[in-house]
C-alpha cells in the first residue's frame, strides 16, 4: 500500500482531517495499480463523514449566452465564435423546469445565468421566479449568477435562495490562463460575502483546462481552504468555437484519481458530478466515481448540453443501494 494511502486512512478516514496539497498531489500521481485502493478509501471516507445518501440536483439556464466574460472553456461567452445565442427563459417555463426536476426526487434546483453579475432585469426575474417556484414546488432553490454586490447577496437571502454557486474554476496560479476579464480574487470576494450571509457556499471548477497535475492539487487545497458546503466537479467538454475547443478530454483514470483526491482533501463536502462526466467517464466510470468519493449528481440536462436521462442515474443509485437524500434531511 503506498504510504500516502496509509497516511490518508489514519488522518482522513480516522480523524476527518483532509489531505494537504502535497498529499493530494501524491494521490494524483498514484500509478494505475493503486487507483482502486484510492477510490475504495475515498468511498469509505465519504460513507463515514457524509453517509450513504446522494444529493440530487437539477439545473436550468435562466439567461443563456451573450456573456461579456471570456472564460476560455465557455460556449456562452459572447466574445468567441461559439454558435450559442442569447436567450431568456420565461417564468412559467422556469417553474415547469423546477417541477420536472422535483419529480426525479431531486432536492435542489439551481437557477443559472450567463452573466458577469446580475443587473436589475435579472434580479427582477429571480425575485419573480424564485417566489413562483417556492409557491408551487417542493424543492430548495439555489442560484448561480456570477459575481455579486453585498446588496445582491442580501436580496438573494431575502428571496429564500439557500445556496449560491460560484466556481473558482481552476487554481489561482492557472486562472489567468483561462479567464482575463476578471480575477480569481474577485471570485473569492463574492464567495466570502456569500459565506458571511449564511447561504451555503457551492464552489468547484473544471478539470482538463490545461492545468498541470500540480495545479490540480493546488486547486483542491484552495477549495479545502474555502471549505464549501458543496464542490461541483466538472470535466472539460471542449466546446466548438471556444479557445479550449480543441483540447482533449480528461482521461477516465485521471478523472477518477481526481475524484478520490478531492474527496480525500475534503472529507465532509458534498462532492458533485457536474458537466462532462458522460464523455469523460461513460457509464462504467460514472459508477466507479460514485464508489470513489462522489455523493451528489446533477440529473437531466446541463445548461447548453444534454445529460443522460435522470432515470438512468436514479437506477444506478438504486443498484448501488445509495438512497437519494430526502428534502426533510436538507431542511
Partner 1 sequence: MTELVEPVAPADRAGANAPRWCDRCGDEAATGAHSACVAARVLEPPRYCARCRRRMKVQVLPVGWSAVCVEHGEIRG
The footprint of ligand SF4 (CB under 6 A) covers 67, 69, 71, 74, 76-77, 114, 146
Question: DSSP assignment of 272-308, as one string?
Answer: EE-TTHHHHHHHHHHHHHHTTT--EEE-S--SSS---
300: its cell numbers: 437531466
Among 300, 314, 317, 324, binds partner 1 (CB under 8 A): 300
Least spacing, CB of residue 68 vs partner 1, in Å: 19
Asked whether position 121 contacts partner 1 by CB under 8 A, the answer is no
Q: How many residues does the chain have?
A: 331
Asked whether position 310 contacts partner 1 by CB under 8 A, the answer is yes
> Cα 254 to chain center, whole Å?
18
Least spacing, CB of residue 170 vs partner 1, in Å: 23
Asked whether position 278 contacts partner 1 by CB under 8 A, the answer is yes
143's contact among partner 1, ligand SF4, none, with CB below 5 to 8 A by partner kind, is: none
Question: Which parts of 131-257 are beta strand (E)?
Answer: 140-144, 163-165, 200-202, 205-207, 230-235
Least spacing, CB of residue 116 vs ligand SF4, in Å: 6
60's contact among partner 1, ligand SF4, none, with CB below 5 to 8 A by partner kind, is: partner 1
Cα dihedral across residues 132, 137, 138, 142: positive or negative: negative
Q: Judge whether 324 and 58 are in contact, CB under 8 Å.
A: no
100's contact among partner 1, ligand SF4, none, with CB below 5 to 8 A by partner kind, is: partner 1
Compute CA distances 152 → 31, 158, 225, whole Å.
46, 10, 25
262's contact among partner 1, ligand SF4, none, with CB below 5 to 8 A by partner kind, is: none
Half-sphere exposure of 118 (CA within 13 A, CB side): 25
144's contact among ligand SF4, partner 1, none, with CB below 5 to 8 A by partner kind, is: none
What are the beta bridge partners of residue 60?
111
Least spacing, CB of residue 215 vs partner 1, in Å: 27
Least spacing, CB of residue 56 vs partner 1, in Å: 11
Amino acid at each position: 500500500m503506498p504510504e500516502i494511502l496509509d497516511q490518508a486512512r489514519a488522518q482522513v478516514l480516522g480523524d476527518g482531517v483532509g489531505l494537504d496539497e502535497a498529499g493530494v498531489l501524491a494521490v494524483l500521481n498514484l500509478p494505475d495499480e493503486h487507483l482502486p485502493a484510492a477510490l475504495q478509501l475515498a468511498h469509505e471516507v465519504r460513507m463515514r463523514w457524509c453517509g450513504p445518501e446522494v444529493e440530487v440536483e437539477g439545473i436550468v439556464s435562466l439567461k443563456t449566452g451573450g456573456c461579456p466574460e471570456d472564460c476560455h472553456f465557455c460556449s456562452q461567452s459572447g466574445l468567441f465564435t461559439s454558435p450559442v445565442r442569447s436567450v431568456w427563459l420565461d417564468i412559467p417555463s422556469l417553474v415547469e423546469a423546477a417541477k420536472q426536476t422535483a419529480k426525479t426526487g431531486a432536492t435542489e434546483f439551481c437557477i443559472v445565468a450567463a452573466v458577469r453579475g446580475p443587473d436589475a432585469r435579472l434580479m427582477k426575474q429571480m425575485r419573480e421566479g424564485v417566489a413562483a417556484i417556492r409557491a408551487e414546488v417542493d424543492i430548495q432553490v439555489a442560484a448561480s449568477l456570477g459575481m455579486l454586490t453585498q446588496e445582491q447577496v442580501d436580496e438573494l437571502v431575502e428571496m429564500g435562495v439557500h445556496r449560491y454557486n460560484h466556481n473558482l474554476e481552476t487554481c489561482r496560479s492557472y486562472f489567468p490562463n483561462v479567464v482575463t476579464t476578471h480575477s480569481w480574487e474577485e471570485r473569492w470576494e463574492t464567495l466570502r460575502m456569500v459565506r458571511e450571509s449564511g447561504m451555503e457556499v457551492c464552489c468547484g471548477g473544471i478539470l482538463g483546462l490545461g492545468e498541470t497535475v500540480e495545479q490540480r492539487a493546488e486547486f483542491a487545497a484552495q477549495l479545502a481552504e474555502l471549505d464549501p458546503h458543496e464542490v461541483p466537479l466538472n470535466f472539460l467538454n471542449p466546446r466548438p468555437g471556444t479557445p479550449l475547443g480543441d483540447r482533449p478530454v480528461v482521461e477516465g483514470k485521471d478523472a477518477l484519481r481526481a475524484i478520490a483526491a478531492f474527496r480525500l482533501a475534503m472529507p465532509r463536502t458534498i462532492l458533485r458530478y457536474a458537466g462532462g462526466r458522460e464523455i469523460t467517464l461513460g457509464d462504467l466510470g460514472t459508477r466507479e466515481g460514485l464508489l470513489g468519493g462522489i455523493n451528489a449528481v446533477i440529473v437531466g440536462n446541463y445548461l447548453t448540453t444534454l445529460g443522460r436521462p435522470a432515470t438512468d442515474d436514479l437506477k444506478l443509485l438504486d443498484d448501488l443501494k445509495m438512497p437519494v437524500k430526502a428534502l426533510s434531511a436538507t431542511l
